[in-house]
Amino acid sequence: MIYGYIRVSSDKQTVENQRFEILKFAKKNNLTIDGWIEETISGTKSFSKRRLGQLLEVATEDDVIICSELSRLGRNLFMIMEILNICMNKGCKVWTIKDNYRLGEDIQSKVLAFAFGLSAEIERNLISQRTKEALDRKRSEGEKMGRPNGKTDKKRYKLFKKEKKLLELLEQGKSFREIGKKLKVKKDTVARYYRNFIANQD
């Protein structure tokens, strides 16, 4: 399958320019576009939450994704690298028109895919390590983790407007799970609200 992928950031932009570029490229290379994926969404949005993520899930070996340029895939380097790494592992090709990028089966693509995957993994590890170090430092300085007692804004909770119903259900002996299902929230949300605002009431 050969897919044409088109993304614009806002509904004020048109997809027609990208479509024209892809069709022109396909005609020049005797290719037929079997399916189009078009979406209006920011490239900073995780690809897993875009139609691109759905495409990557169904893409198989020897499929080709054609887009006008790499920036259509994502707006930051690590996201693009992760997408290309997924395609490389699946044997799916990615071709771009403006920057003439070809992710395929050659050794250059494999080296690039390895570098992409390694870079992304290093970045994730660095973020995790920095977070851990910051938390350890705060603990060593005696700073208490989490939201300070008495400073929780009750109105920010989903259950604030449903507290009356919540109290009624508690009086009926309903479990947190049953209450959560009734009020359309998670069991943990009920438990947290109960612990913070009800259990310690005078």
Query: Under a CB-based contact definition with an 8 Å cutoff, are residues 159 and 185 in contact?
Result: yes
Closest to 4 in 3D by CA, of 41, 51, 49, 61 = 51
3-state helix, strand, coil in the chain (%, to 5): 55, 10, 35
Cα separation, 80 vs 74, whole angstroms: 6
pLDDT digits (tens, 9 = 90+) for 58-79: 999 999 999 999 889 988 877 8
Structure tokens at 7: 């993304």
Structure tokens at 141: 């300085």
Amino acid identity, position 48: S
pTM of the predicted model, to two decimals?
0.55
**Residue 132 or 144, more confident:** 132
